[in-house]
Chain A
């Protein structure tokens, strides 16, 4: 086989082509260049196409199309969980005063990704079985292992793990495979491990990068990436606003690829925060005891009633309960606008 024939040959693993490539350095270099181009094309397009929450959006649409019951979004699951928790924690004889209720709310939980969580709704200590508030509609599968936790003090304590045996549409049950304490109704479960304090801190830091940044500043840094070695780290430090701008059409492809390479270190954080919707989860933000969380709430609620006129209530004991009630009443008329980075009326 001649070089001409080898180079004109399409991708081929025939013995003749392989033998020629092994003996001809120039053809081999050519073939390697083809492979490199292909790999760079795939990597570049994958980088450009990265889109947190894509899977969730697809599944929602599929569910609508097939008239399947919609999977419970994370925010709704969190609301459901909080509701259950509030019921469980409520003492006999009435509701807690607001200040105490605020104190009883634990710090938010972060899971590793795509969290599936809910509450223990029944236990049978003798048989070692547990029923939980999520079932086939929530993607629970037989054989799935869930970790049980209990609120209390500053951190959650692990109660044990349960392997699911029976799955019904709205609930499922399974057997304890690891027991560190007796599970109780009101304990909660997650499908993934909880993050440690360090990871939580990093995630929170990233969450609070969602803030207004002048577009000109980002565009300027993106433009200087090739010439200024300091531009990359500064772009990375700006956090989420850079990604949101990169998802639009303001920057050409080549610059986008370079910018994505510069901020790739935080891809994982971004995926966790935005895929779970933490960045615009009103109830979640209301429970964070951090002034930046309140600033974020003011920003994302600035276009919806009644906060557009009255402003968001100040931080404090009542904020969480107030926003919880408001959210339950308002969520059907709201839609998240990722471009504007805020909730808006439908």
Chain B
């Protein structure tokens, strides 16, 4: 059943969810700045959380998110299916983060502070803290699918496209990541 349209915050009659996002993306692609502002409003927080998960450095994550939105704005006109904005933008963000990681390796920068977070065994209970702590210690190839899948809420097909893998490989990578994280948490005695 189709959802009833609702009045959005700006007072414009707009359908909810992906349909509305597609409409905003299409308008933004035609150069309408206010529509792009709505997309930023909707995705900025999750984009920053994802970038933080990928880069493990707050300053670099903020910079990456801003750069990703700039690139998205410049190339929105080339997005063929506006309803797929979310997956398309996740790909841009991921590529920007990869650029940052490459630059970091080139500059041989030290691992940011979060990579040296204290051991999970010192934490009293299973909550978000230990999970984040352990997830950020996973190797890049496993941390990336986890972050993109849970933060950006990509489908497996979108995840595969973003990571440049086949769908079955993306599934395997994601599964191994979930399993590895669980095993690490269990080794630390967290249920």
Interface residues, chain A, CB within 8 Å of chain B? 7-12, 30, 33-34, 37-51, 54-55, 57-59, 61-63, 65-66, 68, 136, 139-145, 163, 191, 226, 247, 249, 252-258, 261
CA distance A61 to B71 in the complex (A): 11
Size class of the contact patch on chain B: 35 or more
Q: A10-B174, A37-B185, A49-B48 are in contact. List 20 more A-B contacts (CB 8 A).
A: A11-B174, A30-B182, A39-B150, A41-B131, A46-B49, A47-B128, A48-B52, A54-B65, A57-B62, A58-B44, A58-B66, A59-B36, A62-B69, A66-B73, A141-B10, A143-B13, A144-B12, A247-B58, A254-B132, A257-B129
Residues of A within 8 A of B66 (CB): 57-58, 61
Q: List 12 A-B contacts (CB under 8 A).
A: A41-B131, A41-B146, A45-B147, A47-B128, A55-B40, A58-B65, A62-B40, A191-B10, A252-B118, A254-B118, A254-B120, A254-B133
Residues of A within 8 A of B65 (CB): 54, 58
CA distance A30 to B46 in the complex (A): 27
Residues of B within 8 A of A46 (CB): 45-46, 49, 151
Min distance, Cβ B14 to any Cβ of chain A, angstroms? 9
A66 touches B44 (CB 8 A): no
CA distance A258 to B37 in the complex (A): 32
A258 touches B175 (CB 8 A): no
Residues of B within 8 A of A47 (CB): 128
The chain A residue sitting closest to B116, CB to CB, is A252
Min distance, Cβ A302 to any Cβ of chain B, angstroms? 26
Residues of B within 8 A of A256 (CB): 129
Interface centre among A50, A163, A254, A257 (most CB of B within 10 A): A254
B146 touches A38 (CB 8 A): yes
Task: Please pick, from A37, A49, A143, the residue contacting B49 in the complex, using a CB distance under 8 A.
Answer: A49
Q: Is there a chain A Cβ closer than 8 Å to B78's Cβ? A: no
Q: Is there a chain A Cβ closer than 8 Å to B104's Cβ? A: no
CA distance A258 to B129 in the complex (A): 7
Q: With A49-B45, A49-B52, A65-B73 as given contacts, are A38 and B178 in contact (CB-CB < 8 Å)?
A: yes
B52 touches A11 (CB 8 A): no
Task: Please pick, from B50, B69, B151, the residue contacting A58 in the complex, using a CB distance under 8 A.
Answer: B69
The chain B residue sitting closest to A146, CB to CB, is B11
CA distance A307 to B10 in the complex (A): 41
Min distance, Cβ B181 to any Cβ of chain A, angstroms? 6
Task: Please pick, from B48, B136, B191, the residue contacting A54 in the complex, using a CB distance under 8 A.
Answer: B48
CA distance A233 to B171 in the complex (A): 43
Q: Is there a chain A Cβ closer than 8 Å to B103's Cβ? A: no
A45 touches B130 (CB 8 A): no
Residues of A within 8 A of B147 (CB): 41, 45
B11 touches A145 (CB 8 A): yes
A255 touches B129 (CB 8 A): yes
Q: Is there a chain A Cβ closer than 8 Å to B70's Cβ? A: yes
Task: Please pick, from A45, A59, A252, the residue contacting B40 in the complex, using a CB distance under 8 A.
Answer: A59
Task: Please pick, from A37, A44, A50, the residue contacting B45 in the complex, using a CB distance under 8 A.
Answer: A50
B171 touches A12 (CB 8 A): yes
Min distance, Cβ A185 to any Cβ of chain B, angstroms? 23
A144 touches B132 (CB 8 A): no
Question: 1/0 contact trace for B138-165 toward A, CB 8 Å?
Answer: 0000000011011100001000000000
CA distance A249 to B146 in the complex (A): 24
B11 touches A163 (CB 8 A): yes
Min distance, Cβ A264 to any Cβ of chain B, angstroms? 12
The chain A residue sitting closest to B27, CB to CB, is A141
Residues of B within 8 A of A11 (CB): 149, 156, 171, 174-175, 178
